[in-house]
Amino acid sequence: MPELPEVETVTRTLNIIAAGKTISSVVVSLPRIIQKPREPEAFAAALAGHTIEKVERRGKFIRFVLDGLVMVSHLRMEGRYGLFQADEPVEKHTHVQFRFTDGTELRYKDVRQFGTMHLFAPGEEFTQPPLAKLGLEPLDEGFTLEALRSRLAKRTSKIKPLLLNQEYIVGLGNIYVDEALHTARIHPELTADRLKPEQWNLLHQSIRATLERAVAAGGSSIKSYVNGQGDPGKFQHELLVYGRKNEPCPTCGSPIIKTVVGGRGTHFCGDCQPLPGVRHAVGSQ
DNA sequence: AGGGCACCTCGGGCGC
DNA sequence: TGCGCCCGAGGTGCCC
């Protein structure tokens, strides 16, 4: 479940372990991962001979910037990268191997096979899917209170699904959206048009603070997430509500409620995050 | 526009 | 108590 902090951590690690290396060949064991070009053989052939100059993040996507080529990679739920010696045994669920001229190789492993890779000419990647319609980077200067409000304040849908929609703001996933809403004391089902000015202010600060703290901790290591060097992130110990169903709210002590909002498992405190005009939606399951 | 589901595998939990 | 099955986990994209 890599969200912005995890993808940022992986990106930084990739810059350390893979930047500067030249690809000699690429092995694709699961064609479904390769979205563009459609043929895995074409994908592999295009990358051979190119050097990884740097690795950057856009939302939850990783951009491998090579000389004259850009590879866009999304980890979806369980994708991981790791650097190996070419002669090391290949672990199960390894779907793509980028072999380097120095005898090492970068391996992409993804148990659920949901991850994607796209290849573009430099600059072309921002004009078409999957990057074309991405929204604001919440840790950039452009993520101001006004930018947040102007995009969302007139919407009548629930705030949580809006925050998960990458067309408005990028990087938030199910974990950090629950955390940010808790910190801002906003009920996940409150519709955006009903947020008060002070709540927009709190939400803006909470999104930024939550993501910044998580990046500083190297992300969260829940289930299978491990960064490129195999070090687990530490932020899972600081999660306030996610995964804490029935545990006391760290703010007020009431049991954390778990419900479903917009089809997603949702954790919040019914006391700290009230829904005005509606009786407690007590649906702890 | 927004909700629901498909994509896929693993493992936790529950029922027998 | 042990085994086996079902379903939940979630980011994105597509369909309605």
A2 is catalytic: yes
Q: Please identify which of the residues A36, A57, A60, A99 carries the catalytic annotation.
A: A60
**Which pLDDT does position A234 carry in this prediction?**
77
| Confidence (pTM) | 0.92
The question of whether A5 is a catalytic residue gets the answer no
Query: How far is Cα A14 from Cα A261, in angstroms, rounded to an integer?
Result: 34
Is it true that A4-126 and A145-268 share their CATH fold? no
pLDDT at A282: 47
CATH code of the domain occupying A145-268: 1.10.8.50
Indicate the domain borders of chain A: 4-126, 145-268
Note the CATH number of domain A4-126.
3.20.190.10
> Has A188 been annotated as catalytic?
no
The string of pLDDT tens digits covering residues A122-158 is 989 998 889 988 899 999 999 999 999 999 998 888 9
Distance A242 CA to C4 C1' (A): 30
Rounded Cα gap, residues A141 and A157, in angstroms: 26
Is the pLDDT at A81 greater than 50, yes or no? yes
CA distances to A13, A69, A89, A155, A276 from A130, rounded to whole Å, are 23, 16, 33, 24, 37
Q: What is the per-residue pLDDT across A49-66, written as a single tens digit (0 to 9) for each?
A: 999 999 999 999 999 999
Question: Are A264 and A179 a contacting pair, CB within 8 Å?
Answer: no
